[in-house]
Amino acid sequence: MHLILHKLKEVACSVVPIVLFVLCIHFFTVEIPSTLLIRFLIGAAFIILGLTVFLLGVDIGVVPLGNMTGKLLARSNKLIIVLLSGVLLGFFISIAEPGLMVLSNQIAIVSNGALPSMLILIVVSIGLAILLAVGFIRIFYRLSLSKILIVLYGIIVCLSFFSSSHMLAIAFDASGSTTGILAVPFILSLATGISQLRKDSKSSEMDSFGLVAIASTGAILSVLIMGIVSPFTYESQMMQLTSIDMEFVLLPFINELSNSVSDSLLAILPLSVIFLILQKFFFRLKHRQVRKYLTGFIYAVLGLFLFLMGVNAGFMDVGLYFGQQLVTLDNQWIILWIAFVLGVLTILAEPSVHVLTAQIEEVTSGSIRRVIILIALALGVGIAIVFAILRILIEPLQLWHFLLPGYIMCLLLMKFTPKLFVGIAFDAGGVATGPMTATFIFAFVQGAAQAYGNADMLVDGFGMIALVAMMPIITIELLGVLYKGKGDVK
């Protein structure tokens, strides 16, 4: 019981701040209609409950499975097995990712069917799969993470010169959505599983991170290449003001029901199949442990379902409403400040962030405290949202005006920050773009773009995800520089 209460308290501490902040805005700046407010509060309760159950499930089911799978791969001691299983694992995890399905449908629509959604799904999954295998090789052959990242991002920069701005936006969003809510904990724990075997614990710390970072570049690369190989003409579509349904308080929850059920079941499917196959042929665990993992999966599905319900039905409309209302205020400083605080607080409620910070504490035996990483991560996301809003307010500002210098900074800082932090930083970039950011904040930015007018649906909508994926890398690398200054980490 103690365990559940402890988790509940931890989750409540990370969700309550955002609720209080929204209430503050409600009382002092923009009044929210009562239907929306009630939905928001119900949604918050769903999120707290769902996140608690989900994280319990990740703890006892998903993370141990990832650890064991990683060790199994290492023990095989055969390159071909590692490569094949890396590709297979990556492909299955990615192809069943609900976020990626939504994205591929959107691309199919904006390309007027020139790029069918099934093609996109497969291309992105292959990209992720190949890069996941590359990530494995990097750990097994102890290649330097910084060098691999420089090469990968170098290729991305080269490709982006040949790509249109909408393709660029889609590509970065693809990387955000493939590293989804269950894939991230699994990939993270694969890496730590392999690294735990190492004799040298200092380098084992470093190898625990970076796999998510490498895998997520796979999605960017594959989308960019696809856009260059089969270019399509995209007519800029103006955004319409999304109207918010205000009639019945509970209506969106009922509408969301089937979506959330199928999304959460779909997300756990590949992991369950992987577990059952490996259990049958390799693990041969005892009954008690099998039961534990399977219960863990059930918790994960249940928690995910509640969480998605809360976010989609409760939070999204409030985000949209805020965006629409705040951007029309005369004093534009207000929306920038609110955007910053919203970014900082929302990231605290992001499921994968909990998993990443727990992993960091675990791997470093608690010498890097999770609070410190959280602060850096939250500041990064806060700044990213401010940039996203600025880009809407100031028209000449383009996405690459932020992305190019930003990524150059990421790569330069790698020279000055401890190696451990390079891995953590780039992983955090993938982790930050989870379901909370992709719905609540996304709706907020979209609402602002709609109400301000002259905003393009694709470029303005998706660009924000790319910013959220980039800024935490910079802030966490800066944190690493500070750590190095204090001499705590070599």
Partner 1 sequence: MNCFEIITFIVGENQGSKVLQKAKKCGVNGGTVIKAVGTVSDHLCQFLSLYDERKEVVIMACNTQVAKLTMNTLSQAFKFHKPNHGIAFSVLACQLIGFENCHTVESEEEKSMYHAIYTIVNRGNAEDVIEAAKAGGSKGGTILNARGSGISETMRLFQLEVEPEKEVVLILSKKDTSNKIIENIRSALKIDEPGNGIIFVQDVVRVEGIYE
Cβ neighbors of 121 (< 8 A, separation 6 or more) are 95, 100, 101, 104
Nearer to partner 1, 288 or 486 (CB): 288
Q: Of residues 280, 287, 288, 415, which one binds partner 1 by CB under 8 A?
A: 288
Report if residue 140 touches partner 1, rule: CB under 8 A. Answer: yes
Cβ 227 vs Cβ 124: under 8 Å: no
Q: Where are the alpha helices (DSSP H) in 77-144?
A: 79-95, 98-110, 117-140
The letter for the amino acid at 216 is S
Q: Which stretch binds partner 1 (CB under 8 A): 76-84, 259-267, 438-446, 457-465?
A: 76-84
Cβ 242 vs Cβ 153: under 8 Å: no
- What is the C-alpha to C-alpha distance for residues 203 and 61, in angstroms, rounded to an integer? 26
Nearer to partner 1, 5 or 241 (CB): 5
Nearer to partner 1, 258 or 365 (CB): 365
Report if residue 291 touches partner 1, rule: CB under 8 A. Answer: yes
**The tokens of 99 are what?**
């976020």
Report if residue 198 touches partner 1, rule: CB under 8 A. Answer: yes
Q: Which stretch binds partner 1 (CB under 8 A): 41-49, 70-78, 146-154, 257-265?
A: 70-78
Report if residue 366 touches partner 1, rule: CB under 8 A. Answer: yes
Residues 296-325 within binding reach of partner 1 (CB under 8 A): 296
Nearer to partner 1, 288 or 490 (CB): 288
Cβ neighbourhood burial of 69 (10 Å; 0-12, 13-18, 19+): buried
Q: Of residues 178, 179, 196, 439, which one binds partner 1 by CB under 8 A?
A: 196
Nearest to 107 by CA among 94, 91, 124, 92: 124
Q: Which stretch binds partner 1 (CB under 8 A): 56-64, 146-154, 423-431, 455-463?
A: 56-64
**The tokens of 479 are what?**
């944190």
Q: What is the smallest separation between the CB atom of 291 and partner 1, expressed in angstroms?
A: 6
Q: What is the smallest separation between the CB atom of 320 and partner 1, expressed in angstroms?
A: 37
Q: Of residues 75, 147, 202, 401, which one binds partner 1 by CB under 8 A?
A: 75
Nearer to partner 1, 60 or 476 (CB): 60
Cβ neighbors of 158 (< 8 A, separation 6 or more) are none
**The tokens of 452 are what?**
């301000």
- DSSP-derived secondary structure letter, 209: S
Report if residue 279 touches partner 1, rule: CB under 8 A. Answer: no
Q: Which stretch binds partner 1 (CB under 8 A): 238-246, 358-366, 385-393, 448-456?
A: 358-366
Nearer to partner 1, 60 or 471 (CB): 60
Q: Of residues 44, 51, 74, 413, which one binds partner 1 by CB under 8 A?
A: 74
Cβ neighbors of 257 (< 8 A, separation 6 or more) are 309
Reading phi first (left if > 0) and then psi (alpha if -120 to 50, else beta), residue 454 is in left
Q: Which residues of 234-265 are buried (b: 16+ CB within 10 A; e: fewer)?
A: beeeebeebebeeeeeeebbeebeeebeebbe
- What is the C-alpha to C-alpha distance for residues 404 and 386, in angstroms, rounded to an integer? 17
Q: What is the smallest separation between the CB atom of 2 and partner 1, expressed in angstroms?
A: 6
Report if residue 486 touches partner 1, rule: CB under 8 A. Answer: no
Report if residue 147 touches partner 1, rule: CB under 8 A. Answer: no
Nearer to partner 1, 197 or 482 (CB): 197
Q: What is the smallest separation between the CB atom of 199 and partner 1, expressed in angstroms?
A: 4
Cβ neighbors of 125 (< 8 A, separation 6 or more) are 90, 91, 94, 95, 100, 178
Q: In the stretch 373-412, what mask flags binding to partner 1 with x, by CB under 8 A?
A: ----------------------------------------
Number of residues binding to partner 1, judged by CB under 8 A:
32
Cβ neighbourhood burial of 477 (10 Å; 0-12, 13-18, 19+): buried
Q: What is the smallest separation between the CB atom of 61 and partner 1, expressed in angstroms?
A: 9
Beta-bridge mates of residue 238: 456
- For residue 449, which phi and psi values (nearest 5 degrees)? -65, -40
**The tokens of 88 are what?**
């297979």
* Residues that bind partner 1 in the complex, under the rule CB under 8 A: 1-4, 6, 56, 59-60, 74-75, 77, 79, 82, 139-142, 194, 196-200, 288-289, 291-292, 295-296, 362, 365-366
